[in-house]
Structure 1
Amino acid sequence: MQIKHTLLGLWLVGLLLGLPADVTAATVDILASFRPDPSQPSRNVFKNHTPPGNSYCTWAPQYCNETRYSIGFPIDFRMNSAITPGGDDRNHILFHAPTERRNITVLHESTGEAETLQFRISGIGMMLKWIEPNPGPGVGWESSWVYPPAPCQYIGTGVGSPSFYAFTWGLPEGSRGCAQRAATAVPMGTFWMEGLGFTYELITPNPLGMRAGTYRGQITFSVGPYKDFDMGDVLLPNDDQVTLNFILTVDHVLKVEIPPGGDRVELLPQGGWQGWVSQGRKPTRLFRDQTFNFYSTSRFKMGLQCQYVEAGDNTCRIREAASGRSVPLQVGVTMPYGIVDPEGQPIQRRPLRLDGTGTQLLLSTMFVDRKPGTLHFEVARDDVATMLQPGEAAAYEGSVTVIWDSEV
């Protein structure tokens, strides 16, 4: 018996997409990968590999986690006018960003298959740099730079010195943001904002349902007054777009281990041949169960290839060379816990057919890490009677190839 299996591997790579020369846009890759972890077989999530750059998670990593990340862009904001107390929020400093969840379609780079991830901006911040005069970030404002006005939220910390203050404020989902209003006049050129940064939440698809490979998608946000990222009418950006390239890579495992000698299967009656030899009692069936060890995080299919098959058969045959007689060999499989069909049913003694019926799509619901399964081989009662002819010694044999195929 031959065993055919496929081991697939991928990893995450970065891509900087080019843009037309007449469009300015800050571009950052959002990188995430799935690689099975034997120490955590139930953990089926992507790992974020995006460098935070000069942003919140760099200088306050203790406040970032698997759901909160940050990235920074080389976008600065300069004062376009002085700030006068009172009046419209737009004449002060806005911290507005798109906080609603957005669906991002990512496409498999080889097959074009589509998956959907969710992305939302959860915070906005940058470095406040004072030029002249330097009253410090806590002076002359209606609200503290540490504890922002509602609905913006304090999310951990800020860092600074007499000349700068780096911070990020949280933005609740669905809120536009808040305004930092000046309590005293702020002359033109008093300060500038360096390095637009934001925290984000990323909800990725279930990697166990994805084909192995690299998936890519993109979203672009506008920057400036009345745009996606809006700092008001006083602070104007030196770039007008932020482009995010999403690059997700899935590294699957599909591996089968057959124990030594497991490639030769001897079919026997229950209890062996002694009942037939000593008492003439015909066996009701011939069978053999062959165990294997299985590793998988992917979807796959199973099938058969046969040395002997007859027209109309949907399974293999074993054949007696001298007479040319052959009988069907029923082949089935029991897969370990964690492998199901599309209806969620476990795979217990599931027949393997030449046309793939019943095993055309099998799914891994967890990292199945070296768990035992069984191949079942059997000649049924009526076919055993055909094999056992009075006065004849016969040996039936044939080659069967069982296939685990990740190309579904």
Structure 2
Amino acid sequence: MNIKLLVKYNPAGLVLFMVLMVGQLVWQASAQATSIIISAEFTPSRNNPNNKTFTNTSRLTGVCSNTHAAWCQANNVFSVATGVSSESTKMGNGVTDHGRGSIYFDMPEQRIITVTSDAGEVATLNLRITGMAFRYGHTDLPVDGWRSDTSDLRGCREVFGNLNVTNSIMRIIMRNDNGAGGCSSCSYGMLADREFEYHGLDIIYELETPEPLNIKNGIYRGASTYTRGGLGRDLDMGDGVNIPDPYLNIHFELTVNHIFALEFPPGSETAILQPLGDWSQWTDYKKVPATLRKDQHFTVSGSTNFSVNLNCEYLMPDGRCGISNGVSTVPLDVAITMPGFLGRADLGFAEALNYPLTQSFTHVPRFSPKDGATFQRRSYLRFEVNGDPIKEMVTHPGTQYKGRVTVIFDADM
């Protein structure tokens, strides 16, 4: 019996990639805008085969890129500088309250971002703005002596705040809903009775990415624009704020790179079926074997879903392949065993242990790595004839039963 193996996949592999950098660009139809790129990556690794999530690989700017990097890493948050600088000023009204005239931030609800590959595949992710980090000070005087007590914060929690510093005061605030709710307002009870400026304004964010197993290879791109400034802006900084650059464009670029590889030893293209013992029970005692079998071993590496189908030279009515001597045709049972992979067809779902295969156009079984990426897992294809068909075969001594079976591995790459 000859076996043909057909593997359909892109050998380049799968990696999800997004980057976050700060730059400047000029829109044809709008004012100057700050441009940011966010990135995340899924790379199958032998050192961490159980990983099923993306790693944020964005270029960090702002508060998480320096002294507070360890805190950000421990809390799984990332920051980007938004380009707000000393050109962005705000005039206080001298009123000590939690109103829009105070140091005030209204952060938007989470956004669902759609990214599309060059091949037209679509994926979605969630971007949550979970907090802000900012430095502020007086426009032309040292901050010493003017009110900087920011202990009275409403709507958020302060996770870091320095005392009066000669040039600027720095604060990190986080939303109480972790960015998963709607809009969230944060305001301090204090406000200097004079104009002050922001020396820096950073967004602290979380990125929720989809299941890597469900994304095909390709470069995915998407974008979303946030407005910033006063009332009605996505990033509302309260009344009296002056931001020359009102647009913040966030670009997403995702490169997905899975692995899928099969390794068969030489000679695997031919399977000779034998009794589980040998032919002596038949030759010596005319006892018909219960099973004729051949296991073809191979290794499989994969981090993505894939299907396994058959194409039969002799197709039986029930979808099984057959082998024939030209006079009679008997059914051949084909099964696959791949420890560490889960198989499903219709509503069934089970580990791929002696998982039956047939030729089908509508019920092709699909397999997924059970615990993330799997590397060089020892597996095998089992070909066998069982029971009564063997009784039919032994009535044709001196003939050869054979047939071609093509095993098709089709990975979602």
User: Aligned residue for 1:314?
Assistant: 319
- Asked if the contact 1:143/1:149 (under 8 Å) is kept, the reply is no
Give the aligned residue type for 1:110.
A
Which whole-Å deviations, capped at 9, do the CAs of 1:335-391 have from their partners, x for residues lacking one?
22332326432233232222155434323332222223221101233332332236x
The SS at the match of 1:383 is helix
2:153 maps to which of 149, 155, 158: 149
User: Aligned residue for 1:215?
Assistant: 220
In structure 2, the CA distance between the partners of 1:380 and 1:56, relative to structure 1 (3 Å rule), is closer
- Asked if the contact 1:168/1:198 (under 8 Å) is kept, the reply is no
Give the aligned residue type for 2:43.
R
Shift of 1:13: 6.3
User: Aligned residue for 1:111?
Assistant: 120
Identity of aligned residues (%): 26
Shift of 1:87: 6.7
| Partner Cα distance (1:106, 1:246) in 2 | 7
Shift of 1:400: 2.2
User: Aligned residue for 1:239?
Assistant: 245
In structure 2, the CA distance between the partners of 1:291 and 1:141, relative to structure 1 (3 Å rule), is same
Structure 2 matches for 1:66-145, cutoff 5 A?
A: 67-76=76-85, 78-79=88-89, 81=91, 83-86=93-96, 89-98=99-108, 100-113=109-122, 115-136=123-144, 139-141=145-147, 143-144=149-150
- Asked if the contact 1:211/1:299 (under 8 Å) is kept, the reply is no
| Partner Cα distance (1:20, 1:360) in 2 | 51
1:171 equivalent to 2:179? Answer: no
| TM-score, normalization by structure 2 | 0.84
- Asked if the contact 1:148/1:154 (under 8 Å) is kept, the reply is no
Structure 2 matches for 1:267-282, cutoff 5 A?
A: 267-282=273-288
User: Aligned residue for 2:394?
Assistant: 388
- Between Structure 1 and Structure 2, the one with more strand by share is 2
Give the aligned residue type for 1:210.
I
Matched residues, number: 394
User: Aligned residue for 1:9?
Assistant: 13
1:330 maps to which of 328, 333, 350: 333
1:283 equivalent to 2:289? Answer: yes
2:254 maps to which of 237, 248, 260: 248
In structure 2, the CA distance between the partners of 1:68 and 1:85, relative to structure 1 (3 Å rule), is same
| Partner Cα distance (1:97, 1:275) in 2 | 80
Shift of 1:269: 1.2
Shift of 1:34: 1.0
Shift of 1:260: 4.1
| TM-score, normalization by structure 1 | 0.85
Which whole-Å deviations, capped at 9, do the CAs of 1:47-84 have from their partners, x for residues lacking one?
10111223433341011127211111223353354542
In structure 2, the CA distance between the partners of 1:337 and 1:311, relative to structure 1 (3 Å rule), is closer
Shift of 1:332: 1.5
In structure 2, the CA distance between the partners of 1:143 and 1:256, relative to structure 1 (3 Å rule), is same
| Partner Cα distance (2:362, 2:354) in 1 | 14
1:196 equivalent to 2:201? Answer: yes
The SS at the match of 2:301 is strand
Give the aligned residue type for 2:209.
T
Shift of 1:242: 1.5
- Asked if the contact 1:329/1:379 (under 8 Å) is kept, the reply is yes
- Asked if the contact 2:143/2:165 (under 8 Å) is kept, the reply is no
Root-mean-square deviation (CA), in Å?
3.0
| Partner Cα distance (1:368, 1:267) in 2 | 30
- Asked if the contact 1:131/1:163 (under 8 Å) is kept, the reply is no
In structure 2, the CA distance between the partners of 1:158 and 1:292, relative to structure 1 (3 Å rule), is farther
User: Aligned residue for 2:379?
Assistant: 373
In structure 2, the CA distance between the partners of 1:281 and 1:80, relative to structure 1 (3 Å rule), is closer
| Partner Cα distance (1:287, 1:87) in 2 | 83
Give the aligned residue type for 1:24.
Q
- Asked if the contact 1:270/1:286 (under 8 Å) is kept, the reply is yes
Which whole-Å deviations, capped at 9, do the CAs of 1:239-267 have from their partners, x for residues lacking one?
11222223333221222222344333220
- Asked if the contact 2:112/2:125 (under 8 Å) is kept, the reply is yes
| Partner Cα distance (1:160, 1:50) in 2 | 32
1:53 equivalent to 2:55? Answer: no
